[in-house]
Structure 1
Amino acid sequence: MLVNSKAIVLRTIKYSDSTLIVDAYTEQGGRRGFLVRIPKTRKASVKNVLFSPMAILNIEWNEHGTSKLTRIKAVQPANIYSDIPFSPAKMAITMFLAEFLSASLRAPMPDRNIFNFIFTSLQWLDNEKGNCANFHIVFLVHLSTYLGLEPNIENCSKTSYFDMENGCFTPFRPATPHAIEPHEARHLPLIMRLKFTTASRIPFTRAQRTRILQAITEYYSIHIPDFPTLKSPEILHELFS
């Protein structure tokens, strides 16, 4: 069966001198692995640059249902970014998101709500002309809802702890090392309500932004088995200091 779908590139691996393995999240097929031949001629329409992290493509392939890696029949850009490739800050954000999504999107079945959320978020980032230092925080907070991991922020008070394992507030210190102290936990409802359009109004310091990202990453690592240690957050820390 021939499938034509939008796809968001998560990562690429060099398979040979002329072939890439492309790990992508597709609208029609969910998380997929593709084999892509990269011709070495100058006139070739398929080039490495097409498969940059978080690039949005139209991909066509034959669905056989047995192979883990599928050969791409045709590929072309579905959306050409106007600003992300020329902004070091936005490039760092997309690299981080690609790594984070590679670690967190585990379900093989397609989910159009997740795909559309990622797609529209990337479009917003590309078009945004103001401060985007908090974009990745808002993205990860909202992603938790689509993955069924949204924290329960009821019963929050100035003296409540946030139990990261159970995803809820508690008046007593949880019997687990994965808990957020009250002086930090009380800010969680505000963070959960942030939107892309309003996030820049919250002037987080470098230390606050770093701590928030650490807590969010820890939360995901608790609820997603074998969640790896990410390499890209340090770049964000340096850029948005």
Structure 2
Amino acid sequence: MQQKTRAIVLHYLRYGETSMIVTLYTEAFGRMSFMMQGVRGKKSRSKANLLQPLFLLDMEVSYKPGRELQRVKEMRNAVPYNSIPFEIGKSTQAMFLAEILYKVLREEEPRPELFEFLFHSVQYLDLATEGTANFHLVFLLQFARYLGFGPRDNYSEEKPYFDLRNGVFVTMPPPHPDYLMKEESRIFAKLIHVNFDSLETLKLDHKLRDRYLEALLNYFSLHLESTIHIKSLSILRELFS
């Protein structure tokens, strides 16, 4: 069956001398893997350039239910980027977020609202000019909401500790190590309210940015019940330190 779909590049693996196995998050099917033959040849380098982390594609695929590796008939750039491939900060965030999505998104079924969020979030990163050093933090918080475990917005002076395991602010430090201290929780409560349009209002030094990134990765691991190991994390930390 021939099917047109938009897609987001999550991961690729070189296969043989000229081919690649590429994992995409598609609008029509959810997560899918594709065998792309000949894309690394001298005459096809432009196709390989489209398969970078978080690139947005328009595709026509030959879909066969139950087939492990689907086939691509045509693909092209859906939204040409202005800055992500050329700015080291944005390209590093794209690599990091693509790895997060690759580890987390497993369903082979369409989720239109989630796909639209991801598609437009990446476009925003490409076009944004201010506050982008904290983009990945705001993205992870909003992504958690689509996965069903977004943090509850119940911070108050009476509930000044954020419990990572339960996703809520609580009155006393919980009887486990997965929580934020008072001052961390106070700023985290503000972080919850930040969206992409207000990124420039979020002022974090590198220590706080790193602390919240660590906390959010722990938060995802706790709620997904699986530890998330991100290879590109060290590069991201080094860049924004």
When normalised by structure 2's length, the TM-score is: 0.93
Aligned partner of 1:118 in structure 2 is 118
Between the aligned partners of 1:134 and 1:219, the Cα distance in structure 2 is 17
Between the aligned partners of 2:196 and 2:155, the Cα distance in structure 1 is 26
Between the aligned partners of 1:153 and 1:207, the Cα distance in structure 2 is 24
* Displacement after TM superposition at 1:2 (Å): 1.5
Aligned partner of 1:11 in structure 2 is 11
Aligned partner of 1:221 in structure 2 is 221
SS at the partner of 1:133?
helix
* Displacement after TM superposition at 1:199 (Å): 1.8
Report the more deviating stretch, 189-198 or 177-186: 177-186
Q: Is the 8 A contact 2:56 2:78 kept in 1?
A: yes
1:204–1:8 CA distance, 2 compared to 1 (3 A): same
Q: Is the 8 A contact 1:138 1:196 kept in 2?
A: yes
Q: Is the 8 A contact 2:217 2:228 kept in 1?
A: no
Aligned partner of 2:50 in structure 1 is 50
Aligned partner of 1:165 in structure 2 is 165
Q: Is the 8 A contact 1:36 1:71 kept in 2?
A: yes
Deviation per CA, 1:181-211, whole angstroms, max 9, x where unpaired?
A: 2221122221110012222222211100000
SS at the partner of 2:238?
helix
* Displacement after TM superposition at 1:159 (Å): 5.5
* Displacement after TM superposition at 1:94 (Å): 0.4
Query: Residues 2-151 of structure 1 correspond to what in structure 2 (within 5 A)?
Result: 2-39=2-39, 42-44=42-44, 47-151=47-151
Report the more deviating stretch, 159-168 or 93-102: 159-168
Between the aligned partners of 2:39 and 2:202, the Cα distance in structure 1 is 47
Aligned residues: 241
Between the aligned partners of 1:74 and 1:163, the Cα distance in structure 2 is 47
* Displacement after TM superposition at 1:40 (Å): 5.7
Between the aligned partners of 1:32 and 1:117, the Cα distance in structure 2 is 18
Q: Which runs of at least 4 in structure 1 moved beyond 6 Å after TM superposition?
A: none
1:115–1:182 CA distance, 2 compared to 1 (3 A): same
* Displacement after TM superposition at 1:39 (Å): 4.9
Looking at secondary structure, tell me which structure has more helix per residue.
2
Deviation per CA, 1:62-93, whole angstroms, max 9, x where unpaired?
A: 22211121121221111111211111111111
SS at the partner of 2:78?
strand
Between the aligned partners of 1:112 and 1:143, the Cα distance in structure 2 is 14
1:172–1:2 CA distance, 2 compared to 1 (3 A): same
Report % sequence identity: 34
When normalised by structure 1's length, the TM-score is: 0.93
1:196–1:155 CA distance, 2 compared to 1 (3 A): closer
Between the aligned partners of 2:178 and 2:29, the Cα distance in structure 1 is 35
Aligned partner of 1:232 in structure 2 is 232
